[in-house]
Amino acid sequence: MQKNTRGLMGIAAITLLSFLQQDVFSQNITIPVETQHNALVLQTNASNNLGIVYLGPKLADKKEYENIPAMYKQTAEYTGVANAAYATSGSRNLFEPAITVTHADGNGSLDLQYVKHETKKLDDNTSLLTIITKDPVYDFEVKLFYKTYFREDVTEQWSEIKHNEKGNVVLQKFASAGLYLKADNFYLRQYHGDWAREMQPEETRITHGIKTLDSKLGTRADLFQPPVFMVSLNKPATEDEGSVLYGALEWSGNFRIDLELDNQDNLRIIAGVNNHASPYTLKPGEVFTTPAFLSVLSHKGKGEASRQLHAWARNYKLLDGKGNRLTLLNNWESTYFDFNETKLKALLKDTKELGVDMFLLDDGWFANKYPRNDDHAGLGDWQENKSKLPNGVASLVHEAENNKVKFGIWVEPEMVNPKSELYEKHPDWVVKQPKRPEYYFRNQLVLDLTNPQVQDFVFGVIDNLFTKNPNLAYIKWDCNAVVYNAYSAHLTNQAHFYLQYVQGLYSVLQRIRKKYPTVPMMLCSGGGGRVDYAALQYFTEFWPSDNTDPLERIFMQWEYSYFYPAISTSNHVTDWGKQPIKYRTDVAMMGKLGFDIVVNKLNTNDLKFCQDALKTYNAYKPIIWQGDQYRLQDPGDNSVAAMMYLNAEKNTGILFNYLVNNRYDAGSERPIRMKGLDPEKRYQLKELNLYPGTPSTIGDKTYTGEFLMTVGYNPDVKASRASVVLELKAVE
Ligand code: GLA
């Protein structure tokens, strides 16, 4: 009996399906969103709902997109909205929605129908598609935006939600965007971590049901899970083969990304601000704009997707993505909180001697009533500590000038220690529950950035530093606490707290960037917890992790490098790990190089090595920062990890090779195959970053690009040569 019923339902559904398909051919609107290699095809159906009918390689004949839906004979689609471009709830949708609302009259249903669309070419590479959708019953509208970056194959999607109902509407869920994919199988590469162990990958086949990647930390997206992921289509993509979609939410707070494999075996991706504890009350006429969700799709594996994303980031998103960066000496791990003017002046001399561009003064320079001598006190009181710095920061900036180096400074302006004058004066500026005990993360609390007075204060911390020290060259902006006990004394609607915290932060950063458009700033967060593409609009670089053990870093930087370009990744040489200075420096050179060591304790050869390495870095940084990055051998699968950077002309490259396995006789047994070279060019290899007195085992033969890419080259990595850096130069 049951079987029969199912059978009947099946027939009914098939009839409905063929009706829909017929209609597709006659009058439905098809909107292809194309980039250099791909097309996302949107189409209206018989009930005028907008769905995604295709995401894949683009077709030469645009008309053929209309034929796509008929090629799928999957199981019944009961609702007509399973592939919704922006899925609603409370009407026909049976799957995870992008938007859920409670209308002014208490009704919880929403149906969004296509009204019109418009495509604007913004310049020769970018276009913006805007689609207006409306509910036929309620005066409720959602505008969907698709901004495409043609050459980079990147699409940013976001939404604007508004209504003109006779009262407020509550947005229970308000995602940025949705995608709908069809493939034989889907494989998710996601990341997890914790302090000092950020960006640990996991790759699994997606099974039916919903997989949610999310975070609820308030001040940062990541600590446990970053807002980036990859989905391989059909089979797991490798570095150079297979179709893979990268996704990332551009939001620096709570996020939620749902990946749902439905009854038809199609994958729905819905990404946005996390609606956890955050129903948003939208007034009539008010426009709610979601952050952007970005995606890039490649059919040539993870490597190409990452290079496209790097190019996009440098061209469009990362602050000063094409600009310069400063090498630096940081004093955090050499002094911690224990320093004074004399000690710092000596470090300024070391900065010059080492040969970096700048000295970066870290935590501990401020607060007087509760001096910042450890992490229990002083945060929030941004006046120079008089006993450590009797002549202020100004005298250090001046002394830096005398040493012909630049000066940068650490701040953590969003935070407060309960033991501080700021806390005493403004307890109402602090995020905490009025009737519950305080609970701390690194002995500190978060300031309430939803409050415009707090925004002024945070802006003032930076502005005062620059006003007093116009030659200040750099800011390291830290953020070492998450939000516990979310409550704002300023807000009347507590449900808006998480959202408005991040908006408050952006408004401060916008003010800072208006006044100081290009001063380099590092985005730091007690490790790599804060990086995302919204924050990187205001920052020139980020701190991937407090873990600077070079062996760990090879793995971590490898994973970060899929999503963020090398120019944005601050890598410091420290005393973490057991490897010699050469290994540590080589690893740090793969991004934006800095040092955090006691220079005057380096022996003569170590110092000489670092000085020479800095000269080499200065010569090669344009390629590391702006060139194409090729992952040659994954540290997860090989005893030798290899990463290569190549300039656009393909005539100069730099190749980093590391032994990542210390088992007996591990080394480069086989040649490492290079990528991206011109097969016809001849290349000369030369070893760089040789430790003083060590001969190179690299000969002076030349090889064609074809040879280096087909056969490969053996960099002779072994226990006694655990880190080998090679230059690659085309010769006539
Ligand atoms: C965080 C940062 C470190 C350092 C300390 C200072 O942990 O990640 O680099 O700046 O704060 O307290």
Q: Which has the closest alpha carbon to 210: 241, 245, 246, 186?
A: 186
**Ligand 1 centre from 412 Cα, in Å?**
9
Task: Report the chain's terminal Cα–Cα distance, integer Å.
Answer: 80
CA of residue 668 to ligand 1 center, whole Å: 36
Identity of the residue numbered 56: G
Name every residue whose Cβ is closer than 8 Å to that of residue 709 and which is 6 or more positions away in sequence: 673, 674, 675, 677, 679
Which of 336, 338, 363 to probe ligand 1 with, by most ligand atoms within 8 A of CB?
363
For residues 308 and 317, what is the distance between their CA atoms, to the nearest angstrom? Answer: 13
Decide the pairing of beta strands 140-149 and 154-163.
Answer: antiparallel
Could you confirm whether 628 is annotated as catalytic? no
Task: Report the pLDDT value the prediction gives residue 76, as an integer from 0 to 100.
Answer: 81
Q: If you measure from the C-alpha of residue 478 to the centroid of ligand 1, how many angstroms do you get, rounded to a whole number?
A: 7
| SS3 track for 414-472 | CEECCECHHHHHCHHHECCCCCCCCCCECCEEEECCCCHHHHHHHHHHHHHHHHHCCCC
pLDDT digits (tens, 9 = 90+) for 649-696: 999 999 999 999 999 999 999 999 999 999 999 999 999 999 999 999
Structure tokens at 369: 């009533």
Known active-site residue 478: yes
363 marked ligand binding residue = yes
pLDDT digits (tens, 9 = 90+) for 149-182: 999 999 999 999 999 999 999 999 999 999 999 9
Average pLDDT over residues 372-399: 98
Q: Whose CA is nearest to atom 7 of ligand 1?
A: 526
* CATH class of the domain at 14-317: mainly beta
The answer to whether 92 is annotated as binding is no
Chain-centre distance of CA 654, in angstroms? 25
pLDDT at residue 45 in the model: 95
pLDDT at residue 338 above 60? Answer: yes
d(CA 303, CA 674): 13
| Six token digits for residue 365 | 């320079």
SS (H, E, C) 258-298: EEEECCCCCEEEEEEECCCCCCEEECCCCCEECCCEEEEEE
Catalytic residue among 546, 586, 596, 606: 546
- Residue 139 CA to residue 455 CA, distance in Å, equals 35
Q: Could you read off the pLDDT of 86-107 as tens digits, one per residue?
A: 999 999 999 999 999 999 999 9
Rounded distance between C-alpha atoms, residue 586 and residue 575, angstroms: 14
Main-chain dihedrals φ then ψ at residue 289, nearest 5 degrees = -105, 125
Mean pLDDT of 463-492: 98
* Tokens linked to 177: 């965007």
pLDDT at 732: 82
**Is the per-residue pLDDT at 113 higher than 80?**
yes
Q: How far is the CA of 330 from the centre of ligand 1 (A)?
A: 11
Q: What is the pLDDT of residue 721?
A: 97
Average pLDDT over residues 197-210: 98
Pocket lining for ligand 1, CB < 6 angstroms? 332, 362-363, 375, 410, 478, 480, 524, 526-527, 543, 546
Q: Which element (helix H / strand E) includes 583?
A: helix 581-588
Contacts of 552 (CB under 8 A, 6+ apart): 197, 545, 577
HSE-up of 329 (CA within 13 Å, CB side)?
27
Q: Rounded to an integer, what distance in angstroms lies between the CA atom of residue 505 and that of residue 252? A: 9
CB 211 within 8 A of CB 255: no
What is the per-residue pLDDT for 77?
Answer: 87
pLDDT at 9 exceeding the cut of 80 = no
Amino acid letter, 134:
K
| pLDDT tens per residue, range 116-126 | 999 999 999 99
Residue 75's pLDDT is what? 82
Closest CA to 300 of 353, 233, 255: 233
- At the top level of CATH, the class of 328-418+448-480+513-627 is alpha beta
**Has residue 4 got a pLDDT over 60?**
no
- In the prediction, which pLDDT does 529 show? 76
pLDDT band at 16 (very low <50, low <70, confident <90, very high): very low
Q: For 279-330, how does the pLDDT look when each residue is reduced to its tens digit (9 = 90+)?
A: 999 999 999 999 999 999 999 999 999 999 999 999 999 999 999 999 999 9
Contact 723, 583 (CB under 8 A): yes
153, 258, 381, 478: the active-site residue = 478
Band (24; pLDDT cuts 50, 70, 90): very low
Domain limits of the chain? Answer: 14-317, 328-418+448-480+513-627, 629-731
Q: What is the predicted pLDDT for the residue at 19? A: 36
pLDDT digits (tens, 9 = 90+) for 42-89: 999 999 999 999 999 999 999 999 999 999 999 888 999 999 999 999
- Look up residue 672 and give its DSSP letter: B
Amino acid at 322: K
**Residue 590 predicted with pLDDT over 80:** yes
Number of helices (H), then strands (E), belonging to the chain: the values are: 12, 36
Region 527-556: mean pLDDT is 95
Instruction: Please provide the DSSP assignment of 198-234 as one string.
Output: --EEEEEEPPSEEEEEE---SS-S-SS--SEEEEEES
User: What is d(CA 537, CA 149) in angstroms, rounded to the nearest whole number?
Assistant: 17
Question: Which protein residue has the closest C-alpha to ligand 1 atom 11?
Answer: 526
Q: What is the pLDDT of residue 7?
A: 40
Q: How confident is the model at residue 596 (pLDDT cuts 50, 70, 90)?
A: very high
b vs e for 59-78, b when ≥16 Cβ sit within 10 Å of the residue's Cβ?
beeeeebbebbeeeeeebbe
Q: Confidence class of residue 731 from pLDDT cuts 50, 70 and 90?
A: very high
Q: Mean pLDDT for the chain?
A: 95
Confidence of residue 5 (pLDDT cuts 50, 70, 90): very low
* Amino acid 160: pLDDT: 99
14: pLDDT strictly greater than 80: no
Instruction: State phi, psi for 558 to the nearest 5 degrees.
Output: -60, -50
Confidence of residue 387 (pLDDT cuts 50, 70, 90): very high
Question: How much of the chain exceeds pLDDT 70, in percent?
Answer: 96
Length of the chain, please? 732
Q: What is the pTM of this model?
A: 0.95
Distances (CA, A) of 6 to 1, 2, 82, 197: 9, 6, 20, 50
> Using CA atoms, how far apart are residues 183 and 225, in angstroms rounded to an integer?
26
Rounded distance, CA 414 to CA 432, Å? 14
Is 251 annotated as ligand-binding? no
Whether the predicted pLDDT of 3 surpasses 80: no
Name the percent of the chain lying above pLDDT 90.
95
For the segment 449-465, what is each residue's pLDDT rounded down to a tens digit? 999 999 999 999 999 99
- Round to whole Å and give the CA distance between 564 and 635: 18
Homologous superfamily of 629-731: Golgi alpha-mannosidase II (2.60.40.1180)
